[in-house]
Structure 1
């Protein structure tokens, strides 16, 4: 019996060698699947590369979506592409040797799903921040089900769904590229599945550690809306997110940079690849528990 073929893209800036070594070791230990690995140096030459892996050296940092797209293209150009793509953060680890095989099994049990998301936890195998639960109802991260967004750094995507959706949104650089890709996959008739019983580990970091967080998160929210929503839904979406951002800024700061990001996003919206989803997709997302204005 043929084993599932998975193409794995791992992005690096050579900035966390210990974590990356651990990530690759647990990746190479995966059983029951055939792997091809591409390590992408985002503005650098990769220094930690498994034997036999492809490498891509990007002369400049293209951001996370651009770097991952470069890896996916390199794997496709290297020969017969795998049925699945797996995108792996270079500080994420597989706690057991059957994670990828179990994710493929979940995908086979849910053929309607264009992507399958494991439950991401801290190294303690238990703690799951709310932002890592890819659905609105986050109180029980152990409950599986259909999802409408994704946690980008540990996700299995069918190659056909990824290519049909056009891959990651290069212009985003960082933040919300998973929401954008998920909506484009849904717009083409597929769904997403949260395989909550399958865990992966990641350091418990905060996105606000990035100096560009507030600006890019706000900018990309505008672009997600403009790229994917029917025109009548764009204003309520942006009003809701600007209100939520203002409330959060009272507690955590970042109001000025967020406002700058919203302005930047609005000014640059016409440079984005607008492919508004159908009203049928809006209804499907709503039925799945996430109206696309939320």
Structure 2
């Protein structure tokens, strides 16, 4: 597989591009207002030492005054570029387009409300990928910026593994706030699915990478610090629950599950949504997931990526399902993973 040829976005400020095509890593940061936090994320990325890098900031519709603040942060910089995308493509589509701008061997995605834990975090992530050639991605430990405690709202792994947060283990996904992907694997697996917009896009990509015989490794010694409070991370208003439910069902159908087989999961989501006053979001998510699944048409050369091999199923069983128990427990863990502070409970 390969990534699409995206239109060249508008250059706003900073360098026209990297000094050359051969360098270690690109850091990509998506921006949409929240200028103060984004400027701090840019500074943290530019301060990363011990490797050749380029920082890309892809703005997806910030107000003019906020875009001006971002432009000032990279004005005259040789190692950073601010571009403006034609619209808000969400997390999945925005990361695809930001990744396509560079040619670094590794792509590190940093949330615009996060900062690197140390000045050598990026270099250590690159070395971790280079040390294990079968790794497609490194999942970073996500810490609360102010306290250094684990950000429980960003724990995307079985709750039973939380006591091992400082350790390393193979997993089947990674958390978007901070992660590193080998560029060659990103392209080979087809990047993110734009249709997801946001929520579960990392899991969807990871399944394709695993199906290609690659591994995802959580590294508790490679961390980013996240400024979003765990108690404020999940908003029941808006459309977050809609995307959570829609995307999880859509992904399951992409990989061969029937709508009938997903009915128990769908009903469990509705119970949780009803308890939190967003039943309408969950109910809308079902038909929306079916619509996405019916429209999904992989190219013939891509179809095999969506049929999990026995080796991929074994990898998932060992590194995820085995830590969660039976299906009811796995569905419950998925729902709890969407909520603030529940991982510890």
In the superposition, the TM-score normalised over structure 1's length comes to 0.87
Mapped partners of 2:30, 2:218: distance in 1: 23
User: What is the aligned partner in structure 2 of residue 78 from structure 1?
Assistant: none
User: What is the aligned partner in structure 2 of residue 264 from structure 1?
Assistant: 288
Rate the CA distance shift 1:145–1:201 in 2: closer, same or farther, 3 A. same
Runs of 4+ off more than 4 Å:
291-294
Rate the CA distance shift 1:230–1:256 in 2: closer, same or farther, 3 A. same
Rate the CA distance shift 1:184–1:106 in 2: closer, same or farther, 3 A. same
Once the two structures are TM-superposed, the CA of residue 245 in structure 1 deviates from its matched residue by: 1.5
Residue 19 of structure 1 aligns to a residue whose secondary structure is: helix
- Which of the numbers 42, 50, 59 marks the counterpart of 1:24? 42
Determine whether 1:222 maps to 2:235.
Answer: no
Mapped partners of 2:83, 2:237: distance in 1: 25
Once the two structures are TM-superposed, the CA of residue 60 in structure 1 deviates from its matched residue by: 1.6
Does the 8 Å contact 2:93/2:192 carry over to 1?
Answer: yes
In the superposition, the TM-score normalised over structure 2's length comes to 0.75
Mapped partners of 2:81, 2:236: distance in 1: 31
Mapped partners of 1:164, 1:12: distance in 2: 26
Mapped partners of 2:268, 2:135: distance in 1: 30
Rate the CA distance shift 1:273–1:43 in 2: closer, same or farther, 3 A. farther
Rate the CA distance shift 1:273–1:93 in 2: closer, same or farther, 3 A. farther
User: What is the aligned partner in structure 1 of residue 18 from structure 2?
Assistant: none
Residue correspondences, number: 283
Mapped partners of 1:277, 1:180: distance in 2: 13
Does the 8 Å contact 1:122/1:128 carry over to 2?
Answer: yes
Mapped partners of 1:144, 1:130: distance in 2: 19
User: What is the aligned partner in structure 1 of residue 222 from structure 2?
Assistant: 198
- Which of the numbers 269, 272, 287 marks the counterpart of 2:318? 287
Mapped partners of 1:113, 1:243: distance in 2: 36
Once the two structures are TM-superposed, the CA of residue 134 in structure 1 deviates from its matched residue by: 3.3
Once the two structures are TM-superposed, the CA of residue 36 in structure 1 deviates from its matched residue by: 1.1
Cα RMSD for the two superposed structures: 2.4
Mapped partners of 1:62, 1:191: distance in 2: 28
Once the two structures are TM-superposed, the CA of residue 264 in structure 1 deviates from its matched residue by: 1.1
Segments of structure 1 that go 5 or more residues without pairing to the other structure are: 76-80
Residue 29 of structure 2 aligns to a residue whose secondary structure is: strand
Mapped partners of 1:173, 1:285: distance in 2: 24
Rate the CA distance shift 1:199–1:225 in 2: closer, same or farther, 3 A. same
Mapped partners of 2:167, 2:267: distance in 1: 29
Does the 8 Å contact 2:142/2:154 carry over to 1?
Answer: no
User: What is the aligned partner in structure 2 of residue 84 from structure 1?
Assistant: 106
Larger Rg: 2
Deviations 1:191-231 (A, max 9, x none): 1000012221112241326611111111111221122x234
The within-5 A match list for 1:99-138 is 99-123=121-145, 124-129=147-152, 131-135=154-158, 137-138=160-161
Does the 8 Å contact 1:114/1:161 carry over to 2?
Answer: yes
Does the 8 Å contact 1:125/1:199 carry over to 2?
Answer: no
Once the two structures are TM-superposed, the CA of residue 63 in structure 1 deviates from its matched residue by: 1.2
Does the 8 Å contact 1:135/1:149 carry over to 2?
Answer: no
- Which of the numbers 1, 5, 8 marks the counterpart of 2:27? 8
Mapped partners of 1:207, 1:182: distance in 2: 23
Does the 8 Å contact 1:135/1:148 carry over to 2?
Answer: no
Deviations 1:240-276 (A, max 9, x none): 5324313423542322211111121112312124542
- Which of the numbers 246, 264, 273 marks the counterpart of 1:249? 273
